[in-house]
Amino acid sequence: MANVTVIIPVYKVEDYLEKCYNSLLNQRYGDIEIVLVDDGSPDSSGAICDEFASAAESEGIPVYVIHHTNRGLSGARNSGIDWAMACSGSEWLCFVDSDDTVADAFIEKLYDAACTNDADLAVCDFMEVDTEGKDIHEAHEFPCGVNPDNKQLFELMYENWRIHPAWNKLYHKHLFTDLRFDEGKLHEDEFIIHKVLYFSRKVVFVSDMLYLYLIRSSGIMGTENKRTRADGVLASIERYWFCKEHDLPQDFRSLGIDYMTLVGYLNDKEITMKYKEVFFDYKPNQTVMRHIRFNLLPIYNWYRKRRLG
């Protein structure tokens, strides 16, 4: 019985899937099972998944394939979670996107860090690479060690976007007892990360770059459009209300940036109304008003001048 279930959503990745899969076969921590979720892929990705499962016995790692009609990345992840909850005795989950790869110590180091520190969640740093495998990540800071305090953890989340993705983590399975990814949304990680952090008793950070995140123009986030921006704003709004309800720090800076997105790009009435509800909710907060006065308004005026000029 495997201890870690690795969930890989698969959609139109026939050129990348084998490299991703092989990086998991090469894990130093071997007590894993792999769940490949074919999300109605129109290319040969689904058939490749079946080939991997057929050959899995000789590899010594259990491989399972789920085929279903296209539900998007969130739906594919949810299918994997549902399978793990119903069919597996594993204690841990992780997600790997099917065009990415992981270092051979990816699971080992996260698992050791989680167990040593009695943490529910282990998070590692990652490296951005291009389609040629070239390192294109920029210099940055990443936390290291244990952070058991929710308020400090949320401040850290607001400061460092590298904490947000679903895939650079090892989760204790109980975190997904009642949690699932929002289907039909892009920026799906942004809709769930604050809930994962809130329900984790303790979080440990590993500063090693153990995950290789592929940047490609044809990927889900490779093309910026109104839908992706709109979902990003909606995620910030939902996170605001969640944090307010649970007495956690709110990310007013992101809300200010989201306002500029609304004004300058989306022109979406539904989202604008949701945002107004947030604005009038925190309007009495003088710290927020000072932030808007000294930071947001100059940006807004600059934007109007540029747009009209």
Express each pLDDT in 104-114 by its tens digit: 999 999 999 99
Q: What is the pLDDT of residues 206-236, one digit of tens each?
A: 999 999 999 976 555 445 567 777 788 788 8
The CA-based diameter of the chain, rounded to the nearest angstrom, is: 66
Same domain, 251 and 172: no
Q: Provide the residue type at 165 as one letter.
A: P
Residue 115: is its pLDDT beyond 70? yes
Who's near 92: CB < 8 A, 6+ residues apart? 3, 4, 5, 111, 114, 170, 171, 172, 173
How sure is the predictor about 306, in pLDDT bands with cuts at 50, 70 and 90?
A: low
Whether residue 164 sits in one domain with residue 265: no
Contacts for 212 with CB less than 8 Å, ≥ 6 apart: 100, 101, 102, 103, 126, 127, 129
Number of domains in the chain: 2
Q: Is the domain of 171 the same as that of 77?
A: yes
Q: What is the pLDDT of residues 52-108, one digit of tens each?
A: 999 987 777 899 999 999 999 999 999 999 999 999 999 999 999 999 999 999 999
CA gyration radius for the chain?
Answer: 20
Kindly indicate the confidence band of residue 309, based on its pLDDT and cuts at 50, 70 and 90: very low
Q: Does residue 101 sit in the same domain as residue 174?
A: yes
Structure pTM? 0.85
267 has a pLDDT exceeding 50: yes
Residue 74 lies in a domain: yes
Structural domain contains residue 285: yes
**Within-domain flag for 54:** yes
Instruction: Please write the tens of the pLDDT for every residue from 136-178.
Output: 888 899 999 997 678 889 999 988 999 999 999 999 999 999 9
One domain, residues 11 and 77: yes
Range of the domain at 69: 4-214
Give yes or no: residues 158 and 101 share one domain. Answer: yes
Q: Is residue 239 part of a domain?
A: yes
Per-residue confidence (pLDDT) for residue 222, from 0 to 100 = 46
Query: Domain end: 187, 214, 241, which one?
Result: 214
Q: Are residues 289 and 140 in the same domain?
A: no
Would 231 be classed as within a structural domain? yes
Decide which of 214, 249, 278 is a domain's last residue: 214
- Regarding whether 79 and 28 lie in a shared domain, the answer is yes
- Is 80 exceeded by the pLDDT of residue 127? yes
**Residues 188 and 245 reside in one and the same domain:** no
| Res 207: pLDDT | 95
Q: Are residues 40 and 166 part of one domain?
A: yes
Can you give the pLDDT at residue 235?
Answer: 86
Whether residue 219 is contained in a domain is answered as no
